[in-house]
Amino acid sequence: MKLKKINEILQGNLVANGLVEPTTLQKKTFGQIKSGIDVVIAGPKEEGKTTAMVIAALQKLQRPIEGEIATRVLIVVKDKFEVERLMEVFELYGKGMDLEVYGVHDFTDLDEDKNQMSLGNDILIGTCNRLNEMFSSAGFDVNQLQMYIIDDVDVQLRNRLEPRLFRLSDSIGKTQRVYFMKDYVEQIDMFVDKTMTEDVEWFDFYEEDEEE
């Protein structure tokens, strides 16, 4: 896939899975996310938001850090099925990068989740409810966190998870935030204002389609 200065192993994995040319969304957001600024991305399914998200996380980390067990990328998804789907995508695109990816959701065993967390992971994927439970009952080392991603933030806000998302954001503190959504919801403006920096970059790929 032709993205500027992309990790070679990651690029090879993408090509091996048939992803040779990036979508407009993937091409235009890759550099901005890589720069470390806060980003909000809105676009249709066919623009490949999931792939853009996985690329961003893998590019950010690239390799494990010896002796480090704290999570470095945290991804909040809407449900169990998205946790399981993302785990599979990370396995495909992260092959050979040796990064530890762990997933938690409302139906996993909380005690086992805590035990696995103590063993260490690079990328943690979870539902809002389960992550809040883990943060409140076991604590969470956020000192090494480099990226906080919310996928389908529009769906999660629509499902009235706003208070829990705020709680997670407050627990995490300062780190890069990247939000992905399909549709605009009225809650998104206030949520972004309260959780992101003032220089947040917005990308709306519906507007770009209209202009073309």
Encode pLDDT of 32-64 as tens digits.
Answer: 999 999 999 999 999 999 999 999 999 999 999
Question: What CATH superfamily is the domain 8-210?
Answer: P-loop containing nucleotide triphosphate hydrolases (3.40.50.300)
Collect all residues with Cβ–Cβ distance below 8 Å to 63 and sequence separation of at least 6.
97, 98, 99
Sign of the Cα torsion 154, 47, 93, 60 reads: negative
Distances (CA, A) of 125 to 4, 23, 54: 26, 24, 11
User: Bridge partners of 180?
Assistant: 41
Q: In this structure, what token pair is assigned to residue 124?
A: 């943690």
Measured between alpha carbons, how far is 212 from 201 in angstroms, rounded to an integer?
Answer: 21
| Domain spans, the chain | 8-210
How confident is the model over 120-137, as a mean pLDDT? 90
Measured between alpha carbons, how far is 45 from 181 in angstroms, rounded to an integer?
Answer: 9
pTM: 0.94
Q: Tens of pLDDT along 157-199?
A: 999 999 999 999 998 889 999 999 999 999 999 999 999 988 8
